[in-house]
Every structure is written in structure tokens, then in C-alpha cells.
Amino acid sequence: MIEMHYDNPAFSPDFHDNSGLRIYYTPTLREYSADIWMVGQNVDLMHLIPPNESAFKTYGFCFGECTKAGMDEDVYVFAAMLHGHLAARQINLQQYRGDELIDELKDDNYDFNLQETRILATENTFKPGDSYVVTCTYNTVGRDEVTRGGDGTVQEMCLVFVYYYPKKNQDRLLHVNSKFSKLLGVFQHSIRRGH
């Protein structure tokens, strides 16, 4: 799988790209196929971040019941990519087994222009019933309006792409929506499964 994003908000006619790609293939298949789970906040207009906040947090959860629903065996996590947009400053992925923190991947200096897939030093076992918590911190100082979730660069995301094997049949198995918003003095909290 490959995905390439281009951003030319000024619609400059002299924007050119010279990216390249080298593909290798073999007739000998590997024992396992890998896949990617998307974990975090649903990408929708209900992901709300108020203006003029220096460290506003949103959360995405996939608790044990969520992972038991689509997993019948352990999987092995070997890489992850933290993803937010221009207001994102910190992204943190935590794995829990019961109440115990098993693993954590975080970037306390997240920069939209310096995203990369991180190969883990050691593979991490993820068991059915384990939980993921994704926390994103945003800086919207200087923005006059609420920042909403969405695909656009000036909208926001709070996601972690988790690379694992053996492949399961659900790419959004761990994608659960959770909103924590403090807008106009209202605290909203809801959790629902993503599809």
C-alpha cells in the first residue's frame, strides 16, 4: 500500500514533484501478511478543538471489548506512525493490559512536516482484550474559530497507524470515536465504535 498527499493551497501552477518509488517483488511469499490498524479519534466534524488554546487534548480509545470483537489470537506490532495536522503538538499512544501500561509511543514535539513511520526496537505483542489510548495535544493560539476534524490540512486528526502481523480482516478494528470537548463550558464525553 502506498499513499501520497499533495498540498497546494495557493493553487500555484509551477508546483512540481519529482518523488520516486522503487518496488521489489519475489515469487516466494512470506509466512505472514502484515496490515495497518487506524487507532484514535474518528475523522469527522464532531472532533472539535476550541480556538486560542495552547494545550487542548482529545482522546481516542479502543478498550478490551473492542479488541476482543475482531481478534482471536495475538498480533505483533512492529511499527507505528503518529498523525495529526498543523495544530497538533503532541501525540501519545498507550497500550494497556488490564490496568497495567504495557507500552507507550509518543512524540512530545510533533511536527506535521516531519512525519515518519517509526520501526519499533522490539516487536510488541498485542493480545485480544488489550486496550489502546491515543492522546493528542493541540495549539490553536491565533485561530479565531473552532478547528474541526477532517481531511484538510487546516482541519485536524488524532490518529496512530499501527503496523502489525498476522493480518486481520478489519482495518478499523481499533478505531473508536471519543470526544472530550470543553466548549462554552460544556464537557461532552461519548464513546462509540467506528465503522
Residue percentage of the chain with pLDDT more than 90: 54
Q: What is the mean pLDDT of residues 41-57?
A: 93
**Is residue 186 scored above 50 in pLDDT?**
no
Buried b / exposed e over 50-69, threshold 16 CB at 10 Å, is: beebeebebbbbbbeebbee
- Kindly indicate the confidence band of residue 173, based on its pLDDT and cuts at 50, 70 and 90: very low
Q: What is the radius of gyration, based on Cα positions, of the chain?
A: 18
Q: Model confidence over 78-93: pLDDT tens digits?
A: 999 999 999 999 999 9
Res 71: pLDDT: 80
> Cα torsion for 152, 170, 173, 46, to the nearest 10°?
30
Find the range with the poorest average confidence among 123-127, 128-132, 188-192: 188-192
What's the predicted TM-score (pTM) here?
0.79
Alpha-carbon distance of 20 to 5, in angstroms, equals 14
Residues 170/155, Cβ–Cβ less than 8 Å: no
CA dist 42 and 176 (Å) reads: 7
Q: What is the pLDDT of residues 89-118, one digit of tens each?
A: 999 999 999 999 999 999 999 999 999 999
- The pLDDT, as a whole number, for residue 171 is 54
